[in-house]
Amino acid sequence: MLVVVAPGQGAQTPGFLQPWLEDPRFASRFDWLSTVAGLDLAHYGTEADADTIRQTEIAQPLLVATGLVAVLEVFPHPSDAFEQVGAVAGHSVGEIAAATGARVITAEQAMVLVRERGRAMAEAAGVTPTGMTAVLGGDREEVLAAIDKHGLTAANDNGPGQIVAAGTLEQLAAFADEPPTKARLMPLSVAGAFHTRHMEPAVGHLAGLARSVSVHDPRTRVISNRDGKVIHDGREVLARIVGQIASPVRWDLCLETMEDLGVTGILEMPPAGTLTGIAKRALKGVETFALKTPDQLDAAREFCAKHGESSGMNTTPTWRMVVSPAKGTFHISAEAEALDVLPAGATIGEVASLRDRTAITAAHGGEIVEWLVHDGDLVSPGQPLIRLHPQGGY
C-alpha cells in the first residue's frame, strides 16, 4: 500500500523551489495558486532568506502550494492517483494539502484557507511570546511528565523519541534548565506555540470561513492528525483541520494507522525529508521516498507503481458508504440493526480497539442496501461497513 504525506511548517529551506520553477508547467500552476493566495510565493521559494520564509503567514501557503502542484507532477492525470494511493496524511498544515489531494476541497479553497490560517496563527502568536522545543530521546513517560510539570503542551508527538513541547518562552526556559534525563532539547525556529491553547483565537477565525466552504467526501483514506483515525466525512475532515490549529498533532497515531493499513511505501511531497525520516525510525521495513527535486519524478512514479493499490473508494460514490475509522472489532448498534432506513447522524455501531472505542455514525443517512461486515468482525481503517442509498430523490 502507498501512503502520500505532506510536510508541515519548518520543512521549508531557502531556495528549495528553484529547480521546480524551471518547469514551465509547474511554474504556471504555481503562479495560479500564488495569485489565489495573494502572495508572491515564487519569490519566497527561490530568493527569500530563512527568516522571511519562517514567518507563519508565508511558510504555510508556500508549503501547501508546493505540495499541491508537485503531486500533479507525479500524477499528471489526477484520476490515476486514486488507482494507486491507499491513504493520505499531512503533518499540521500539510493536512490541508492532503485533504485537497483527496478531493475534499479544491486547490483554490485550500489556498484561501491556508492564507487565512497563516495570518490568524501569526496574529495569535503575537499576543504572547511563545515557542516550541523538540525533545529528542529520553523516556517517553518522563518526557511527558516534565512537559506537564512546566505547564507546557506536547504539541507534536511525532513517534519514538521525538516529542515537541510548546508554551511561553519563560516556560520553555525553565524546561531547558531542568530537562528530562537522557533527552536532548532543540529549540525550533518557529514563530509561536502552534497546536496549543495559544492558537485558540485563530480557530474561531478559520471556523467562520470554513462554514462557507463546500466539501466532498474524500476519494481515498484521509488519516487525521487528531487521533490517527481514518475520516470519511468531508465535513468532519475540514472541521478537524480547523480544530487542529489549537490541538496537538498526534503523528505517532497516524503512523500506527499506516502500520495497521499494511503500508509498504511512503511518498513525501516536497520540501521532503522530515516525515520520511520519522517513518524510517518508526516503521521498520517500510520503503520511503522523499521527493525533493523534479529530476526524481520518474523514480517517484516508479515507486508509486510498485507500492500502489486502490483504496476502493474511487469506484463507488463515497456518500453511499460508511467506513471504519480504525482497526478493531466492529459491533453493530441495536438501532441500526432494527432499521431499514437510517436518519442522518444515526449511530450504526462502534469499533473497539486496544486503545479506545469509537462510535460510527452515518453522516448522510439513507436506506440500507447491504451490510458489508457482520457484528464481531475485525475491520481495518477505511474498510467499508455499510452501503446506503440516499433518500429524497438523489
Active site residues: 92, 195
DSSP string covering 22-77, please?
Answer: GSHHHHHHHHHHHHHHTS-HHHHHHT--HHHHHSHHHHHHHHHHHHHHHHHHH-SS
Helix-strand-coil percent breakdown of the chain, rounded to 5?
A: 40, 20, 35
Cα dist. 100→14, 157, 217, 310, 365 in Å?
Answer: 25, 24, 11, 18, 25
- Of residues 381, 99, 96, the one with CA closest to residue 230: 381
C-alpha cell at 181: 534525563
Size of the chain, expressed as the number of residues it contains: 394
Alpha carbons 192 and 259: distance in angstroms, whole number: 32
